[in-house]
Chains A and B, each alone.
Chain A
């Protein structure tokens, strides 16, 4: 029992990473109904921006908000420059562009900052959280930030006019235009927000996994798994899904013989497949009901 609890708590603490990433995956899915394969690389690039600012001597609390704002504008600009011209193109064209963005950001980061590992300090400090041997201060901070972001997003979509307009544009773009919503702007806003959330995720993840151009590769897959498990239409689901993936991964690694560090990633992929087969809308996703 002791071991079980330990593994659950440590699963939650890695799950926080996935939850962050899953949240940004869901954000973009809401806006464009595709999974953005470059999401992880964009987040990695944002993290480098933060790292660079701190290397120049700026404090964490300056680098953090500036990076978020820059990432927001970057995401907005990517939609405007790259995706708006191909908005009516088939899905495959989008996927090709996602992959292109993936390798562009990856190479660009390597080119500018080289491929050596860099360490990023945690804003929450080192050491155990309130004397716990299972949860570090940084992990506790990460969980808190993830939940805070979730609440802020929920409030934004539930109580603001722009939030309502963004939801409407996602549900029924043609109708949205007919009530005067600028749908393209909403899509670009979605990109900006997803990119900003990705930046937060990257900056929080970097102290755990170390910063290098490939750091997001597997994390994005876990993020996808979390998002699919929780339901691609539900930000809350994505966060819970992210935590669940972390827990399942840890428990499987401990209790199932033969699954070592090498096979851990397959668990995430297996989860994606199981969810898509058994419950495609995810644990918390909404089934769309339409009466005619």
Chain B
């Protein structure tokens, strides 16, 4: 399988503070890759660097194009949907408007967009019930569903998910991960998932990388990582 995303020697810093120290990783076309690591290891920073939301250097190849100098808006336009930490809800706009915004980077074809919104509502019936409600008043789980639906409206080739379990009850988190697995199977959308809940992430992913203080310390097939003694002890807790 070919890689849809290939990252070489990615570095990023917040001012003087260097957070990423030259990391390399890949996401396979149609596959799910996860970045694991503790708080502050540089997982979210990696996603932000990929999208050009912070200063970065190194080589980022997406879909055989060099995007390492592309501004955020243009990276979105070529099919990268980033669901940021905290879900990035447009809180004073309605649920339906949030979905319309997801399609903002697509050509303005009303019929296609409307039919995609109907598909989102079929997939997430809860969102349909709340379509005219201010998105900020949705529950955490609903907002995460909205964030995923908003990302789908782009018809992305690659989804970047930053802590999908953020602030959710265990049962709801489980539901969200099942949804992601279904989506990956049905649409073949490639995913890069950053997650603190390592056991859930390893179930979903086929490949995993482990980040510690801005460097990748281990990588491999998700199953192999799960069996690793040190990962078990530090991240899975059994």
A interface residues with partner B (beta carbon < 8 Å): 161, 164-165, 167-168, 171-172, 174-182, 286, 288-292
Q: CB distance A288 to B104 under 8 Å?
A: no
Q: CB distance A179 to B137 under 8 Å?
A: no
Name 16 interchain pairs, CB-CB below 8 A, sorted by A.
A161-B100, A164-B100, A167-B97, A171-B92, A171-B93, A172-B88, A172-B89, A174-B84, A175-B84, A175-B89, A177-B73, A178-B81, A178-B84, A179-B102, A180-B76, A288-B136
* A291 in contact with B92 given A161-B104, A164-B101, A180-B76 (CB within 8 Å): no
* A168 in contact with B90 given A177-B72, A291-B137 (CB within 8 Å): yes
Q: CB distance B88 to A290 under 8 Å?
A: no
Query: For the complex, what is the distance from the CA of A290 to the CA of B100, rounded to whole Å?
Result: 20
CB distance from A232 to the nearest CB of B (A): 13
Q: Which of A171, A180, A292 has the most B CB atoms < 10 Å from its CB?
A: A180
* A180 in contact with B138 given A165-B104, A168-B90, A172-B90 (CB within 8 Å): no
Q: CB distance B104 to A290 under 8 Å?
A: no
B157 interfacial by beta-carbon distance below 8 Å: no
CB distance from B1 to the nearest CB of A (A): 27
Chain A: CB-nearest residue to B102: A179
Chain B: CB-nearest residue to A180: B105
Interface residue ranges of B52-74 to A (CB < 8 Å) = 53, 72-73
Chain A: CB-nearest residue to B52: A177
* A168 in contact with B93 given A177-B73, A178-B51, A180-B105 (CB within 8 Å): yes
Residues of B near A167 (CB, < 8 A) are 90, 93, 97
Residues of A near B77 (CB, < 8 A) are 180
CB distance from A88 to the nearest CB of B (A): 13
* Count of interface residues, chain B, beta-carbon cutoff 8 Å: 33
Query: For the complex, what is the distance from the CA of A178 to the CA of B89, rounded to whole Å?
Result: 11
Which 3 A-B pairs rank lowest in CB-CB distance, beginning with the nearest?
A180-B105, A175-B88, A180-B76
Query: For the complex, what is the distance from the CA of A288 to the CA of B90, rounded to whole Å?
Result: 11
Residues of B near A178 (CB, < 8 A) are 51, 72, 76, 81-82, 84, 88
Option from B82, B86, B101, B143 in Cβ contact (under 8 Å) with A165: B101
Q: CB distance B97 to A164 under 8 Å?
A: yes
B139 interfacial by beta-carbon distance below 8 Å: yes
Query: For the complex, what is the distance from the CA of A289 to the CA of B101, rounded to whole Å?
Result: 20
Query: For the complex, what is the distance from the CA of A4 to the CA of B11, rounded to whole Å?
Result: 71
Q: CB distance B137 to A289 under 8 Å?
A: yes
Query: For the complex, what is the distance from the CA of A289 to the CA of B139, rounded to whole Å?
Result: 12
Q: CB distance A288 to B93 under 8 Å?
A: no
Residues of A near B89 (CB, < 8 A) are 172, 175
B108 interfacial by beta-carbon distance below 8 Å: yes
Query: For the complex, what is the distance from the CA of A182 to the CA of B72, rounded to whole Å?
Result: 9
* A179 in contact with B92 given A165-B101, A291-B139, A291-B140 (CB within 8 Å): no
Residues of A near B97 (CB, < 8 A) are 164, 167-168
Q: CB distance A289 to B72 under 8 Å?
A: no
* A181 in contact with B73 given A161-B104, A291-B136, A291-B138 (CB within 8 Å): yes
Q: CB distance A180 to B73 under 8 Å?
A: yes
Option from B51, B88, B140 in Cβ contact (under 8 Å) with A292: B140
Query: For the complex, what is the distance from the CA of A173 to the CA of B39, rounded to whole Å?
Result: 25
Q: CB distance B104 to A179 under 8 Å?
A: yes
Convert B40-55 into 0s and 1s, putting 1 for each residue whose CB lies closer than 8 angstroms to a CB of A: 0000000000010100
Residues of A near B84 (CB, < 8 A) are 174-175, 178
CB distance from A46 to the nearest CB of B (A): 31
Query: For the complex, what is the distance from the CA of A164 to the CA of B102, rounded to whole Å?
Result: 11
Query: For the complex, what is the distance from the CA of A179 to the CA of B97, rounded to whole Å?
Result: 12
Q: CB distance A179 to B136 under 8 Å?
A: no
Q: Which of A177, A178, A180 has the most B CB atoms < 10 Å from its CB?
A: A178
Q: Which of B90, B93, B105, B143 has the most A CB atoms < 10 Å from its CB?
A: B90
